[in-house]
Structure 1
Amino acid sequence: MEDRISNLPDPILCHILSFLPTEEAIATSVLCKRWKPLWRSVPTLEFFCHSRFITTELFLQSVNVVILSRDQNQPIHKFQLTYNFCDSVDPVNFELWVNTTVKRSLQHLHLYLRFHSCLTRPANLSSIFSCTTLVVLKLYQINLELEFKTLPKLLRTDIQISEHTYFLLKVVNNAKVLYLEIDDDIDEVTDPYFSSMFHNLTNVELVYRYHINDWSQIVKLLQHCPMLQDLVIKQPECCVLDSVQGGEVGDWKFPPSVPECVLLHLKSCYLDDYRGTPDEFRFARYIMQNGRFLKRMTICSYVEFQKVLENGKETYQKDRFNCLKILFTINLDDKQQQ
C-alpha cells in the first residue's frame, strides 16, 4: 500500500505533528527515515510533566535536549509547559527555555505551575515583554519580575492572580480577551492589579475561587474596560446551604455612575453559579437596567448541598429540590425593537 502521507511536503507534515504533544511528535521519528528529522522543525513545543512518570531531573534534562536539538532556523510558534512537581527547583531552566523560544517568532506562550512554591525564587522572564510577535499569553502560578513594556500584538491573556503570584495587568493592557482566575486570598482585585485602562478589551471572564462578597469590585473593574462587550463571571460551583444563608444580608448599592462599557458597548453578560443573594440580584438588575445595548443576559444557578447527619456523622448531600442546574437566558433584542 502506498504511503501517501509520507509523500506530503515537510511543512504540511510538520503542521500535522504540531497538534501532538512534543513527546508523541518525537516518537514518529521511528516510523522511517523520512520522518526521523521532522520533529526538529515542528513549530509547537508542548511539555506535560507528571511526577508519576518521570523525575524532576529527567524532565528538566529532556526539555533542554529537545530545545537544543531543534533546527535553529525554524520558528517556534507555541511553547506550552505544564509542571506538576512539588520539588523546589531553581528557575534557571525555565528562564533559558522562555528566553530561547521568544527569539523564534513565538506567538503562544503557556506556562502552568501546579505549586507556586516549586520555584526557589521568582523567575526572571522579562524577555517575554520584548517579544513583539506574542499573540496569546497564559500564566498560572507564575510570579514575575516585571518590566513595564506592552506586547503590541497581544490578543488574549489568561492569568491567575493570588498573593503568591503578583502580576500587574498593566503590562498586558492592550489585550482584547482577558481570562482572570482570582484566588481566595485576594481581597482587592482592582488595586493594584488594574492600575491602567484597557482600551482594547472586549471580552472578560472572571473566575473566582471564592464567593463574591463585594460586587462593587466588579463595577470598579468595568470602569477600566470602556469597550467591553462580553462579560462572564463564575463563582465556585458547589456551596453548602449554611454558608449561603450566612451571606444573605447584602449591602451593595448601585454606584452613582455607570461604567462607559455598560452604557454603550456591553452586549452579553453571563453569571454562573448564581445563588440568588440580594447583592447578586442587585448586580444582575444593575446590568439589565443600564445596559442600553445589552442583547443577552444569562444566569445559571448552582447545585445546593445540605448538611445532614448520617450514622452520627455530618455529611453533605445534594438538596433534592435544587439538585438540577437551571440555566435561563433572556434575549433583549425583541424588547429593544418594540
Structure 2
Amino acid sequence: MAKSNTKSIKLSPEKDAAVDRISNLPESLLCHILSFLPTKDSIATSILSSRWKLLWTLVPKLDLESHTIDTSPDDDDEDIRIAHIVSRVLAQQECGELQTFRLQWYLGLDGSHISHLDSWFRTAAARKVKELDLDILLDDNDFDTESLVLPPSFFSCRTLVVLKLTGDIDIDNFALSFHFPSLKILHLKYILAMTIINSQENSFLSSLSGCPVLEDLSFTAIYFVGEYRICVPTLKRLSIREDQMDCEDRCVYKLEINAPALEYFNFRGDLRDIKFHEKLDNLVQANVELSMCEDEHIEFYREWLLKLFTALNNVKFLSFVPYGTEWHSIANIYPSAFQNLVQLEFKVVDCNWHLLGDLLQKAPNLESLVISKGYDFIPSNLCWKEPKYEPEYLSSLTSFYYRGFKGLNDEVEFVKYILKEARVLKTATIQVYKGESKESVLEKLLMFPRRSTTCLLRVE
C-alpha cells in the first residue's frame, strides 16, 4: 500500500496546474471523488499537496484488497503485515459514519486474523456501516481452516443496508441469533452451499425473518443440493444461480419460495421441483435458464415446468433459455395465456423449436421478440413448423431481433414466417453468425413478403 508520507513529488506544469484546480474544490466534493477509488489509491493522493494529506481519512468508504497491499519484501509473514496495515487504516480513518466497508482477503487465516476481523467488524459497526462487502478466499495450503466462521461482532451491524458475502465463509453457526433490521440487499456467493440451502432449522436461509425489510436476495452456488426454503414477504428481487449444470453429476434439490411481493425473478440451474406458495401478481421480469437431461426424474419434468410457468404467468418481460438434450420429449408446458407479456427473449436449438412456437401462441400482446440461436448440435427431428391457423398472437409485434443467423433451413423458415404474419412490425434486425455474408443474407430476406408496409429490415 502506498505510504501516507508528506514528501513532495515533481509534476509537470500541466499536471501541477490540474492538481491546483482540483484542490480548490470544496472538501465535500473532493471526498466524493476519492470515494470512487480503492482505499490504497485514495491514500496515495496524500503526496499531492498538504491539503490532500489527511483528506482520505474523511472518505466514508474503505475498499481494501489483500493482494494489492504493498508489503516490505523482507516481511517474514506477509498476511500478518497486511492485517496490521488494514488495522492502521481503520484506526486513521476519521469520518463519522462509514458508508462502505469492502474487504477482499486472499490469504490464510489463523486465530490472530480472526481477532483482527472481530476488531474490524466492531469498528465498522460502531461507525454505523451501511454496506459490508466481504470476499474471503483462503490459501490452498491452509489445511487447518476450511472456512471462516464469522465472529459475533459481525452480527451486531444493525445499520447494514447492503451485505455481500463471497467465498470461504460459514454463517450458519449464528443463523438463529442474527438480526439486521435495516438490511435491504443480501448477496451470497459460493458460501458453503451444502449448509445454507438445507432444511435444518438453524440454516441461514431459513432464518431470514431476521431481515424484516429485505428486498433483494441473491445466492449463487456451484451446484444445488437439499431443500431451499425462502419466506420473505418484503422481497422484490430474487436471483438463484447454479454454476455447474452438468448431466454427468446432477443433484436432487427442492426450492420453495414464499415471496408475494416479488417483481424480479432470476433462476439458472438444473430442472427440479420449484414451488411458489403465493401468486406473483407484481412480477415484472423473469429470467429462466433451465438445463434438462435424461435421468430418473424425467417423468416429473412436465409437471415441474407447468408449476413453474403457472407461477410466472403475470410476467411482462420474460427470458427463457432451455438447455439440454430432453426438451424434444416435452410439450404443452405453458398452462394459459401470458396476457401481460410484452417482451420475450428465447434461445432456440434444434430440439426446442416447438417450445418457442407454443409460447408465441400464448402471448397475444407480445410487442418485442428477441431470438438467439444456439449451436449445440443435439440430434433431433424437430424443426420450426408454421401453424395451420391464423396467428393472431403476432398482431401486436413491433420489434423482432434474431441473433446468430446462420442461414439454416429452420432459421430461414422462421424469419420468413415472422415477416409474413407480423402486421404492425416496425423493425426486423438479423444479426448474422460470424463468417456469414451479410450481403447474401440481406438479398435473401428482401425476397420474403412482408405484411407490414412500414417494416424496416436490417442485417448486422
TM over 0.5: yes
Question: How much does 1:284 deviate?
Answer: 10
Deviations 1:210-240 (CA, angstroms, capped at 9, x unpaired): 22857973xx43x32222222222359xxxx
Structure label with greater radius of gyration: 2
Contact 1:108 1:134 in 2 (8 A): yes
Question: Secondary structure, in 3 states, of the residue corresponding to 1:93?
Answer: helix
**C-alpha distance in 2, partners of 1:42/1:75?**
10
> What is the letter of the counterpart of residue 166 of structure 2?
Y
> 1:37 and 1:216 mapped to 2: Cα distance?
53
Deviation of the 1:23 alpha carbon: 0.4
Q: Quick one: distance in 2 between partners of 1:108 and 1:284?
A: 45
Mapped pair 1:187 → 2:204 = no
Task: Give per-residue Cα distances to partners, 1:138-164, cap 9 Å, x unaligned.
Answer: 011321232534423222111024356
Q: Which has the higher contact order (CA 8 A, sep 6+)?
A: 1
- Quote the Cα distance in structure 1 between the aligned partners of 2:376 and 2:310: 35
Is residue 2:185 matched to residue 1:168? no
Corresponding position of 1:31: 48
Give 1:89's match in structure 2, choosing from 107, 110, 113: 110
Deviation of 1:96 after TM superposition, in Å, equals 1.4
Letter in 1 for 2:345: T
Query: 2-side partners of 1:52 and 1:323: how far apart?
Result: 44
Q: Residue in 2 aligned with 1:143? A: 170
- Separation in 1, partners of 2:245, 2:342: 26
SS in 2 for 1:204: strand
Q: 42, 46, 63: which one pairs with 2:59? A: 42
Partner of 2:157: 131
Contact 2:188 2:219 in 1 (8 A): yes
User: When the two structures are aligned, how many residues end up with a matched partner?
Assistant: 294
Identity %: 24
Q: Which blocks of at least 5 consecutive residues in structure 1 are unaligned?
A: 237-242, 303-320, 325-330
Equivalents in 2 of 1:114, 1:204: separation in Å?
25
- Which residue pairs with 1:6 in the alignment? 23
The separation in 1 between residues aligned to 2:330 and 2:264, in whole angstroms, is 19
TM-score by length of 1: 0.71
Structure 2 residue identity aligned to 1:148: S
Does 2:261 match 1:227? Answer: yes
Matched, 1:158 2:187: yes
For the 8 Å contact 1:270–1:299, the answer to whether it is kept is: yes
1:206 shift after superposition: 1.5
Task: Please give the alpha-carbon distance, in whole angstroms, between the structure 1 residues aligned to 2:115 and 2:348.
Answer: 45
Unaligned runs of 5+ residues in structure 2 are: 1-16, 72-77, 197-202, 271-290, 350-373, 378-392, 398-460
Does the 8 Å contact 2:225/2:251 carry over to 1?
A: no
Give the Cα–Cα distance (whole angstroms) in 2 for the partners of residues 108 and 52 of structure 1: 22
**Corresponding residue number in structure 1 for 2:123:** 100
How far residue 92 of structure 1 moved from its aligned partner, in angstroms, is: 1.7
Task: Give distance in 1, aligned partners of 2:154 and 2:61.
Answer: 17
**C-alpha displacement of 1:297:** 4.2
What TM-score do the two structures reach when normalised by structure 2? 0.54
SS of equivalent to 2:170 = coil
Alignment of 1:262 onto 2:284: no
Q: Does structure 1 conserve the Cα–Cα contact (< 8 Å) formed by 2:194 and 2:225?
A: no
CA RMSD of aligned residues (A): 4.1
* 2:450 match: none
Aligned partner of 1:21 in structure 2 is 38
For 2:128 and 2:339, locate their aligned partners in 1 and report how far apart those are by CA, in whole Å. Answer: 42
